[in-house]
Structure 1
Amino acid sequence: MKSRKGTRTAAAVLAILALTATACSSKDDDDETTNPPAGASGSSGQVKTGAGVTASEIKVGELTDMSGPFAPLGKSVTNAEALYFKQINGQGGICGRQVKLEVKDHAYDPQKARTQYTELSGNVVGISQLIGSAIVTQLQDDIDREGILTLPQAWPSTLLGKKTIQVTATTYDVEIINGVSYLKRTANLAAGDKVGHIYADDEFGANSFAGAKYAAQAAGLSLVEQKIKPTDSDMTAAITALKSAGVKAIIVSASPRQVGPIMATSEAAGLKVPVLAHSVGFHPQLLAIPAVAGAMEQRLLVTSPVPSINSELPTLTKLVADYTAEYPGQPIDQGVLSGFSTAAIFGEALKGACQAGDLTPAGVVAAHRKNASLDLGYGAKLDFSSPDKPPSYQTYILKVDKSKASGLATVEQAFEAPEAKTYTLPKAG
C-alpha cells in the first residue's frame, strides 16, 4: 500500500517547484561580411558572418525547461544567461553587436524540443543552453551536421565526441565516482557494504549509474539499483526495497521533484542513511517543505563541478549581488552559477571568433576549441581543446546549509579521486 504521507510530500514537492516562462523566436539573414564599429569588444577589422549574425546583432538560441521536471534549473539558468549578456551588451556587446537570446521552453518533451530546434537552427549562431540529456542525445546528430556550437545543461559522457557539442564540466559518471570516494571515507563504508542507487531511466541516470557501478566495484561495495521513470513521484517502492536490502547509503540520480520525496520517504521509513545526489537534483525551494528540509540538512551530500555559489570568492559574491539586483525575490541556487558559467563560456567563444574575423557558426566552434585553459574565477580551469574529454575531472562536495541563500555550503574543495583517473569513459560519440 502506498504511503499517504509520501504521496502528500510528493505533491508538495511538485507544487513548490512548479515554474513557468514564455518563449520567443525570430528569423535572420544568410552569410555576409560586415565591418564592426571601432572599439567594439573583440572587434578586429572585417568579420565574416553567417546565420544569426547581422551588422548590429548576434542571435543565440536557448532550448530550456521552464515548465517540466527541471524547471527550477531552467529558470535560474535562463535568468543568469540573460544577466551575463545584458552586462556584455552594456559594455558595447561583442564585435560591436548586441547579443540577443532566443528562448524556447521544451518542458522536457523530446518531440517539442525537436520542433523548436528546427525553428532555431539556421537562425542563430549557436545554442548557449540546451537542457536535458535525453533532449541533447536526440538532437546531437543534427547539431553536429549543421555545425553550431551547443552547450548542454546536461553532463553525460555519452555526449562527448562531437566537435560542436560541449559538455561544460565534469561528466555525471566521473562526478559520481568522485562522490562515492568521498562517501566511502566520510560514511565509514567498508568492503561488502551495500549502497543503494535510485536513478532515472534516461541518459542522465544511465551515465551516473555507469560511474556508480565502477566506483562501487573499485571500493568493494555492493550496489543495489532501483530504476525509476523520470516522471515518477512516489518513491515508496524504491525506498522499501533499499531498506529491505540493508543499504548503508543511497546515491540518487534524478530531478529535484524526485530527490525531495526520496528524502522524505526514507526519513519516514527509518532509513536514515547518507544520501549522495548530483547538484541538478537539488533546489533550495525543497527546504520550504518540512518533511524534506530536516532530512536534507542531516543526510544529503551534493556533488558539483563548481563550489557553492555562496562561497566567499569575489567573482561569486559579485554574481550573487548582481543577480539579486536584477531578479529580486528569485532563488539563488546552483543553476544561477551554472547558467552564468555557460554564458561566459559561450561569450568567450564569440569573442575569439570575432578576433579571428569569423563570426559564422563554424568560426564560433573553431574559436571555442582553441580555448584550452579558461579560468572563470572559481572552480578548475577548463580545457575545451578535445571533444573526446570533459573539460575537467574535478568535483566539489556540498552540504545543505539553510543559512546560505542557495541552501548549500562547500564542505570539500575540488578533487579528483584515484578511481576517476583509472576509469575509462564510454566510447565517445
Structure 2
Amino acid sequence: MRTTTTPRPRARATVATLGAAALALTLAACGGADEATPGVTAETVTIGTHQPLTGPAAAGYSSISAATQAYFDHVNAQGGVHGRQIEYVVKDDGYNPANTQTVVRELVQQDDVFAVVNGLGTPTHSAVLDFLNQNEVPDLFVSSGSTAWDDPEAYPYTFGYNADYHVEGAALGRYAADEHPGETVCLLGQNDDYGETLLEGVQIALGEDGVAAHETYETANQDVTAQIGALQGAGCEVVVLGTVNGFTALAVGTAAQMGFTPTWMAASAGGDYPTLVGFLGEDLAPVLLQGFVSVNYLPFGPGGDWVELFSAVNDEYNAGAPFDGNTVFGMSVGYTFVEALARAGEDPTRESLVAALESGDVVGNGLAPLAYSADDHAGFTTAGITVVDDGVQDFVGTTYRLDGETVTTTEPQVPAVEGEGVPTE
C-alpha cells in the first residue's frame, strides 16, 4: 500500500515574514517578476531529471536524456521559449532509489530547478514522489508506465506520460484476441509492479482466465531457461512480455535454442527493435524477431514526419548517436515540455505550468492527444501496435484505447509537425 502524503500547509504569516515578503516583492519589482519563480530568470528556465546513466538500467535507458537535451538544443537555437533558453540538469542515480533521493534533493535545494522532468523508473521515482509534491515542484512526465503517477488529489504536481501498463497490456491482449483467436496466451513478466500491472492489463482484455500461464523473472538472474521451459510445456502459442529490452532478447534467444517459437508480443519498455538488434546481432535479430509484436504510443514509424524531424535533430545535436525508440521518446518528452512551457505564459510560474497541463491544451505528439485534465494526470491512454517484418518495425494501423475497463479500437490522431518542430502557444 502506498503512503499518501498531502502537501504541507503554508505557515501563518507573522510580522517578520510579512516584512520579508514585502522586501521580496520590492526586489522582484526591481529585478523582474520572473526572478521570484525558482529556476526562472529573464534569460533561462532550468529544469532537472534523475536518470540511470550508470547501473543496471543504463544499457537500456541512458540515452534518453541525451536525446531530450538534443531537442532542447534545437529549441534554444530557434530562440528558446518566450526568449528563454532551456537548461537541463541531468543527475545520475544509478537506478538506485537511495541515490534518487539524494540527487533530487540536490536538484530542488541546490540547483533550484523550476521542475523535474522525466525522472526515470518506478522504484526510483516512487522514492521522491512525496518530497516533490510537499515542496510544490512540478513533477512532469514520469518515465514509467506505473499507474501511481495518476493521483492528482494526493499528488497534484505529478503527471505521468507513458501509456501505463494497464493500457499497454489491454492493447496487446485485445490484439491477441483479434489476430490470434483461440490461441493459448501466456505471459512472462518482471517480478515487480511492471510485470504485475501488465498482466492485469492483458486480463482486462481477455478476462482473468485468459492468460493460461504466467511466469516471472528476477532482474538479478540472467537465466530464464526454467521460465521459458514452463511456457513451452504449457503449450503457449502467444507470449506477452513484460520485460525490459535485455530480457526480451534473453527470452527470445533462449526460446530459439529450445525450439520454442511462439508469437512474441512485448510492452514498449522491452519492444524497441533497434535496441534488440544490439543484443541479438544484425544477423540473428531479423530471423528471431520476424513477426515480433510490440506496443507504442509515440510516432516511431519509418518515414514519418516526426521521425524525419528527430533524425535531423539527432544528427545535428546528438553527435550522431544511434537513432532508436529511446531517441523518439526523449525528444517527444522534450517537445511536450516546450509545449507546456509555452502555454504557461511569458512569465511562467510553477502554478501556471501545472494549470497549462490541466487545461487539456497540451496534447503532445503521440498517436492520440494526452489525457491531462484537473482530474486526470495519466498521460497517454491510447497505444498502437507495431510488427517487425523483414527487419523493419512499423505500425500496422491498429490502435486501442482503454477507458476504465473497456478496450476499444480507434484511429490514430498524430499531430503534424509545424515549422521547425518547436511548439508555440
- What TM-score range do you get, normalising by the shorter chain? 0.7 to 0.9
Percent of residue pairs identical:
22
Structure 1 residue 350, shift from structure 2 partner: 1.8
Pairing partner for 1:390 from 378, 395, 400: 378
SS at match of 2:333: helix
Please state if 1:297 is matched with 2:289.
yes
Give TM-score scaled by structure 1 length.
Answer: 0.79
Query: CA contact under 8 A between 1:272 and 1:299: conserved in structure 2?
Result: no
1:115 is displaced (CA, Å) by: 1.0
TM-score by length of 2: 0.80
Residue number in structure 2 paired with 1:16: none
2:58 to 71, 77, 80: 71
Whether the aligned pair in 1 keeps the contact of 2:81 and 2:341 (CA below 8 Å) is yes
Task: State the one-letter code of the partner of 1:308.
Answer: F
Q: Deviations over 1:345-399 (max 9, x none)?
A: 21222222234x4x333332222222345253x5212231145353332111112
Q: What is the SS of the residue equivalent to 2:127?
A: helix
Q: 1:412 deviation in Å? A: 3.0
Aligned length: 375
Query: How large is the RMSD of aligned CA atoms in angstroms?
Result: 2.7
Contact 1:59 / 1:125 at 8 angstroms: preserved in 2?
Answer: yes
Runs of at least 5 residues in structure 1 that lack an aligned partner in the other structure: 1-29, 37-44, 424-429
Q: Quick one: distance in 1 between partners of 2:287 and 2:215?
A: 20
Q: Could you say which residue in structure 1 is the equivalent of 2:17?
A: none
Query: Could you tell me which residue of structure 2 aligns to residue 212 of structure 1?
Result: 202
What per-residue deviation string (whole Å, max 9, x for no partner) do you get for residues 203-251 of structure 1?
A: 2222212212333317x52331112123332111110111111112111
Q: Distance in 2 between matches of 1:96 and 1:342?
A: 20
Contact 1:297 1:399 in 2 (8 A): no
8 Å contact kept, 2:172–2:240: no
| Cα distance between partner residues in 1 of 2:284 and 2:375 | 39
Matched, 1:154 2:141: no
Change (3 A) 1:136 1:223: farther
- Looking at structure 2, the residues matched to 223 and 116 of structure 1 have their Cα atoms a distance apart, in angstroms, of 43
| Deviations, residues 296-322 of structure 1 (Å, cap 9, x unaligned) | 422421111123252x33233122122
Runs of 4+ displaced beyond 6 Å: none
* Displacement of 1:73: 4.6
| Cα distance in 2 for residues equivalent to 1:339 and 1:382 | 16
Distance 1:420 1:287 in 2: 35
Aligned partners of 2:34 and 2:41 also within 8 Å: no
Question: Match for 1:266 among 237, 255, 276?
Answer: 255
Q: Please say if 1:196 is aligned against 2:186.
A: yes
Q: Which amino acid aligns with 1:349?
A: A
**Are the equivalent residues in 1 in contact too, given 2:48–2:117 (CA < 8 A)?**
yes
Runs of 5+ unmatched residues, structure 2: 1-23, 409-425
Q: Distance in 1 between matches of 2:390 and 2:309?
A: 21
Q: C-alpha distance in 2, partners of 1:35/1:382?
A: 39
CA distance in 1, matches of 2:29, 2:40: 10
Question: Which residue does 1:333 correspond to in 2?
Answer: 324
Distance 1:195 1:187 in 2: 9
Match of 2:232 among 232, 243, 254: 243
| Equivalent of 1:134 in 123, 139, 154 | 123
The separation in 2 between residues aligned to 1:60 and 1:239, in whole angstroms, is 43
Q: Does 1:94 align with 2:86?
A: no
What does 1:30-429 correspond to in 2, within 5 Å? Answer: 33=28, 46-47=33-34, 49-122=36-109, 123-150=112-139, 151-161=141-151, 162-188=155-181, 190=182, 194-217=184-207, 221-283=210-272, 284-288=274-278, 289-290=280-281, 293-294=285-286, 296-310=288-302, 312-355=303-346, 357=347, 359-372=348-361, 374-376=363-365, 378-388=366-376, 390-401=378-389, 404=392, 408-416=393-401, 421=406
